[in-house]
Chains A and B, each alone.
Chain A
Amino acid sequence: MQGNVSKTLITALEVALVLAILIVGNFVAGQYFVRLDLTEDKEYTISPSTRSILGNLDDVVSVKAYFSSDLPPRLEQMRRKVADVLDEYRNYGEGHINVEWIDPAKDPELEQQMRFLGIPQVQAQVLDKDQLQVKNVYMGIAVQYGEKRQAIPIIQDTYTLEYDLTSAILRITLDEEKVLGFLTGQGIDLDKQYQGIRRLLGEQYEVRVVNLDSGRTSIPEEIHTLIIPSPEGVTDREKYEIDQFIMRGGRAIFLIDAIRLNEQAGLQAQPVTSGLEDLLANFGVRVQKAIVQDTRFNTHASFSNGYMQYSVPYPFWPKISGPFLARDQVATSRLESLVLPWPAPMKLDVPIAGDDPLLEALSGEDRARAPELDGSGTIRSIPQPVGADSTGADEAKEAGESEAEGAPVRAYILARTSPYSETQTGRYDLTPSNNPFQPRNAKIGKSYVVAAALEGRFNSYYADRPAPSADGSEAGPDSLAEATKIKESAETQIIVLGNSFFLQDSFLGQFPENAVFFNNAVDWLTLGPELIGIRSRGATDRPLKEISDGVKTTLKVVLTLGPALLVIVLGLIRTIARRRRRAAVEADLRSAAGQRA
C-alpha cells in the first residue's frame, strides 16, 4: 500500500513536470516564432515597401501601443493581431523600431499625455460581475521620432494597420516637410472656400498658395503635390506650366467642375470651362460637360423656398458608399461614404487596373451588362500599354487626343455612382422641385465614374506642340521653355475628380468623410511610391461563376452523397471479399478435418 501511494505520487509529480515543461516551452516558443504565409496576396506578411522603409531607418523610432489590459475578448484578439504586426515591424526594423506596450489605466498622468497625442478613450461593453458594463478603454498607437510624433488614434481592425503605421513612420522620418500647393486663379477664393481642408492638411504638410499669374511665374520646385480646385479658363501658358509640373514628376489633384453656381440666385448654374480639357484628355481622362444625378443613392439637402426650410432627398448630391468605392485603394478603402455635390462624370481612355468597384458590386445579370452600365467606355483589364486592342484606346484615338503608343498609364477607379444614375447636360435645372425624387421608380441608368487615379509615365500635351509664350500673347513659341521642355514624365500619379464642391467648407462640415477621403488621397500622392505597395487588406471578393440552378442541385447531390457512396461501395466489396476468404478457409479446414476422419 505504502509503495503504491508513493508511486502514484511520483507519477503525479512526473506528469506535472512534463506539463510544466510543455507550458514553459510553449511560452518561450511564443517569443520566437516563424510564420509561413500561404495566402495568395501574402495578406499576413508585411509588404516589401514597409520592409524597405524600415530597413532604411537610421535612428530609433519608438512605437508606443496604448492598449488597456482589460479589453473585452473580441478586442483582445485584435490586440494580439496588432502585437503580431508590431513584432514583425520590430524584426524588420533591425533595432531601429522600439515597441512599447503601455496600459494607460495604470497611470492617471498618462491620460493627459494621451489627450495631447490625440488618442481618445473608446467605449466598449464588458461583462463584469454578471453585469454588462460600458468601459472606457484605449486602443491607439503613437509613433515618435526625435521631436516628431504621429498617432493612430483608434485601431478598429488590422486591415489598414500596416498602411497607417508605415505612413506615420514615413511621415515623421522624412528629412524635409513635403509641400502642397493650392493653385489659385480667377474665381478660386481659397480663403473663403477651402479654409477647412487647408487647415487640416497644414497639420501634416506645409501648404502654400501657388499663383501662376497667367503663366508669368512657374510652379515652384519644392511643391510636391499640386491641388487644382475648380479651374476655370486656364490660359495656355498656365496649362503648359501644369503640364510641365507633372512632367517633372509632380503629383496633381484635379478638381474639375462642370458647373458654376450662382450663389445670389439660388440654384442657377452656368456651365464652366476649365481650360484643362485637352490636357486631361491627353493624359487619358475626359471630364464630361454634364452633371450626374443618382436617383437611388443620394443625400438630403436643405432648401428654402422663401417661407420655410425643407429637406428633401436630392439626386444631384450622390452619396457614394459601400460597393461603389474602390476597396483596394487606400484613399477609399476604409471610407464609409463620399458625397460629391453636382459631380461631373468622366470617361477613362486608359486601361483600368485594380478592382473596379462596380464590377465588384454587381452580380448576376448586371455583371454581364457591366460594360454597358460602365460609363467609362473601358473594359476591365490588366495594365497594358495603350494602343493594344482595348476599346478604351480606340475611343481615345477617335477623340483625337490619344496617348502616344506604349505609354503604360493605367487608371484606378476610386468612386462611381450607382447604376441608378443619369446625367443632365446643357441647361441645368437644379431645383429639387423640378427633379422630384422617387426612390421606388429609380431608373436603371448608368453608373458613372466620378473619381479616378492615374498612374504611370505620362506624355506631355506639348510633346508635339510649341510651348506657349509666357504672357499669353501670340508672340510665338517660347524658345527658353522649348529648350527645357520635358516630353515624358517619370512615373507619377494624378487624381481627377469631377467635383470641387465636396471640399468646400460648407460641404466639408456637413460630410466629414469627404475630408478623410481627400486626406488619404493627398497622403497617397505625397508620401510617395513607398506606400503604394501597401494595399489595404480587406476580404477580397471571390465570386462564383454563374451556373444554373440545375447544375447547383446536381453538384450538391453528387458531392454530398458521392464520397459517402464510394465509401459504402468499397466497404461492401471488402466485406464480400472477407466473407469469401473466410468461407474458403472454413472449407479448407472442413476438408482437412474430413480427411483426418
Chain B
Amino acid sequence: MSNVLAVFRKEFRSYFNSAIAYVFITIFLVLSIWLFFRSFFLINQASMRDFFGLIPLVFLLFVPAVTMRLWAEERKMGTMELLMTLPVTDFQVVFGKYLASLAFLSLTVILTFPLALMVEGLGNPDWGPIIGSYIGAMLLGGAYLAIGLFISSLTENQIVAFIISVVACFLLFIIGEDIVLYSIPVWLRSFCQALGLGAHFDSVGRGVIDSRDVIFYLSLIGFFLYLNVRSIEKRSWA
C-alpha cells in the first residue's frame, strides 16, 4: 500500500508542476459552468440536471487530457525502464497512477460545488439527484480515466493517446444511446444498452444508487486497470 501511496503522491504532485493542469482545470470549469448558466435562469428550476447533462460530453474531452500523459510521458522520457526496475509491482504503479488521476478529477469536480450551494440558496432543490449526480460523475469519470490510462500505456505519443482515448470513451458512451440503438439489430440492443456509459450515469443521476450501476462501473474500471497491468507487463518482457 505504501508503494501505491508513493506512486500516487509523486503523480498527483506532478500534475500541479506543469501549467497544463491549471489550463485544463480552468477551461473545464469555465466551459461547463458557462454552459450551465446559459439556460439555468431561463428554465428557472432549482436543479442541477442541466449541468450534469453536459458532464458526459465535457468529460469526454477533459478526462483523456488528464490521463494522456501518465504512461506516454514515461515511455517517451525513457523513465519507464527506471520505474519498472523499482521495487514496486506493476499493479501498484498502475493503481497509484490511477488514484492520482482520480484525485485530480475529484478536485476539479469539487470546484463546481459552489454551483450546488447557489442552487440551494436560490430555491429548494432536491439534494438526492444532486448527490447522485456527483457520485455518478465520479463513477463515469473513473471509467473514462481507466480507459484513458490504459490507452496511454500503448503509445509514447501523448497526442495519439489523447485522440484514441477520446474515441474509445466516445464509442463506449454512444453505444448505449438511442442514435445507435435505432440502427442495430434487435438482439444486440439490450447488450449495447447495458454497455453504454451514459444510461448508467443517467440512472445514478436521478438520485438512485443502484447496485447494478455501481457494479457496472467498478467492473469496467477493474477491467481496464487489469488490461493496463497486462500491457506494461508485456512491454517489460518485449
Contact = CB atoms under 8 A, between A and B. Distances in A.
Interface in A28-47: 29-30, 33-41, 43-44
Contacts of B182: 72-73, 126-127
B211 A33 contact: yes
B22 A11 contact: no
Given A30-B212, A559-B114, A571-B22, A39 B129 contact: yes
A520 interface: no
A443 interface: no
Contact of A567 (B22, B47, B181, B223): B22
Contact of B183 (A36, A127, A571): A127
Interface string A45-82: 00000000000000000000000011011101100000
Contacts of B123: 542-545
Interface string A120-137: 000000110000000000
Contact of B209 (A36, A540, A561, A578): A36
A107 interface: no
Given A73-B181, A564-B25, A555 B209 contact: no
A552 B41 CA distance: 8
Interface in B1-34: 16-17, 19, 21-22, 25-26, 29-30, 33-34
A22 B30 contact: no
A559 B33 contact: yes
B215 A26 contact: yes
Given A38-B209, A44-B206, A545 B125 contact: no
Interface string A5-18: 00000010011001
Nearest to A80: B193
Interface in B127-176: 127-129, 131-132
Given A18-B226, A70-B186, A543 B46 contact: yes
Contacts, number: 142
A568 interface: yes
A38 B205 CA distance: 10
Contacts of A36: 208-210
B178 A39 contact: no
B227 interface: yes
B205 to A, nearest CB: 11
A541 B122 CA distance: 14
A574 interface: yes
A35 B30 contact: no
A71 to B, nearest CB: 9
A568 B22 contact: yes
A19 B227 CA distance: 10
Contacts of B181: 73, 76
B207 A43 contact: yes
Given A38-B208, A73-B189, A542 B46 contact: yes
- The B interface, classified by DSSP as helix, strand, loop or mixed, is helix
Interface residues of B, number: 58
A37 B208 contact: yes
B45 A541 contact: yes
A561 B21 CA distance: 17
Contacts of A575: 19
Contact of B16 (A25, A127, A574): A574
Contacts of B34: 560
A37 B208 CA distance: 4
Nearest to A27: B194
B85 interface: no
B229 to A, nearest CB: 11
Nearest to A569: B22
B122 A544 contact: yes
Interface in A271-329: none
B50 interface: no
Nearest to B28: A564
B178 A74 contact: yes
Contacts of A568: 22, 26
B44 A543 contact: yes
A266 interface: no
B111 interface: yes
Contacts of A574: 16
Given A40-B127, A578-B17, A35 B25 contact: no
B115 interface: yes
A547 interface: yes
Contacts of A43: 206-207
B214 to A, nearest CB: 9
Nearest to A42: B128
Nearest to A29: B215
A14 B207 CA distance: 37
A559 B41 CA distance: 14
Contacts of A562: 114
Interface centre among A15, A40, A41, A126 (most CB of B within 10 A): A40
Given A39-B208, A555-B118, A560-B30, A73 B178 contact: yes
B38 to A, nearest CB: 9
7 contacts: A38-B129, A38-B209, A542-B126, A556-B37, A560-B30, A564-B29, A567-B111
The 5 residue pairs across chains A and B that have the minimum distance between CB atoms: A38-B128, A39-B128, A73-B181, A571-B22, A39-B207
Given A69-B186, A571-B19, A575-B19, 12 more contacts: A22-B219, A29-B212, A30-B212, A34-B210, A34-B211, A35-B208, A37-B207, A560-B37, A563-B29, A563-B33, A567-B26, A568-B22
